[in-house]
Amino acid sequence: MSEPRFSVGQRVQIADRTPPVHHRVPSYAKGHVGVVERVCGMHANPELCIRGDGKPFQRIYRVRIPQTDLWAPYEGTDGDKLEIEIFEHWLELAQ
């Protein structure tokens, strides 16, 4: 098994793309920057499950994004966060 590409506390950006296959990234999160909260396990890639077994498996990361960054205007507190699990191939280092 390969080492995680990202580590806890690292800033990452969720890719903003729409492939013509099933994928598990909600549109409201695409393009946003968050912080890796947890490195999760390896799981079948849903983009490959439709035509096979989902291999090679992909690592999942729990990413924390401030709600104020997601929704304009956001009426909650600055401390409100979304925690979302994202497959590694959807993440890149944030600028």
CATH number at residue 32: 2.30.30.50
At 39-53, the pLDDT tens digits run 999 888 777 777 777
Residue 75 belongs to a domain: yes
Residue 5 belongs to a domain: no
Full residue range of the structural domain in which residue 15 is found: 11-93
What lies within 8 Å, CB to CB, of 63 at 6+ separation is 12, 14, 34, 35, 36, 37, 83, 84, 85, 86, 91
Structural domains counted in the chain: 1
Residue 4 belongs to a domain: no
At 56-81, the pLDDT tens digits run 888 999 999 999 999 988 999 989 99
Residue 70 belongs to a domain: yes
Amino acid 36: pLDDT = 98
